[in-house]
Amino acid sequence: MSHVFKIGIAAQNNKEIKEVNHIDVVANKGVVGDRHFSEFNDPYNQLSLIESENIDQYNISYGLNIPYVNFRRNIVTKGIQLNELVGKTFLIGSVKVEGMDLCRPCRHLTEVLNQDNILKEFLRKGGLRCQILSSSKIKINDEIKV
């Protein structure tokens, strides 16, 4: 079963990501309390996901133990291939979302994690940007249904 493995938010840009057990999401606005929440939010900035398996592979390959939430996505998933969800509508728990685009790794993430190889290693493994289509709560272990 595909599910929510970890959740993280940051109240301000460039600040540490706080790991939480649940988030409240508002359609077309984003994650309540997150740095990207706004009244008229760009669909590409509302919610971000990343696969735990890609983080595990990176940590194993480089002998590291970087925490999942440090990769700066709102939701860390388990058991789903996110690249296949671009352009598709799916559920995270009871929240309806649409996969908008792949998340590309950025120079900021390279600097925050102090890892020069992030851009190369996460080129097509950096996660998924989603538009939030319905308001509700997302919790750890919520099922992801396509």
| Model pTM score | 0.94
Element (H, E) at 69: none
Q: Is the pLDDT of residue 68 over 80?
A: yes
Average pLDDT over residues 76-82: 98
The strand ranges marked E within the chain are: 3-9, 18-20, 22-26, 30-31, 47-51, 75-78, 89-92, 95-102, 128-132, 136-139, 144-145
Specify the pLDDT at position 89: 98
Q: What is the band of 16 on the pLDDT scale with cuts at 50, 70, 90? A: confident
**DSSP character at residue 15:** S
Higher-confidence residue of 129 and 120: namely: 129
Output 81-86 pairs: Cβ under 8 A, ≥24 positions apart.
81/51, 82/49, 82/50, 82/51, 82/127, 82/128, 83/124, 83/128, 85/128, 85/146, 86/128
Task: Express each pLDDT in 27-67 by its tens digit.
Answer: 999 999 999 999 889 999 999 999 999 999 999 999 999 99
Q: What is the band of 111 on the pLDDT scale with cuts at 50, 70, 90? A: confident
Task: Express each pLDDT in 113-124 by its tens digit.
Answer: 888 888 888 989
Specify the pLDDT at position 117: 87
Residues 82 and 19: beta-carbon distance below 8 Å: no
User: How many residues are there in the chain?
Assistant: 146
Look up residue 5 and give its two tokens: 């493995």
Averaged confidence pLDDT in the chain: 94
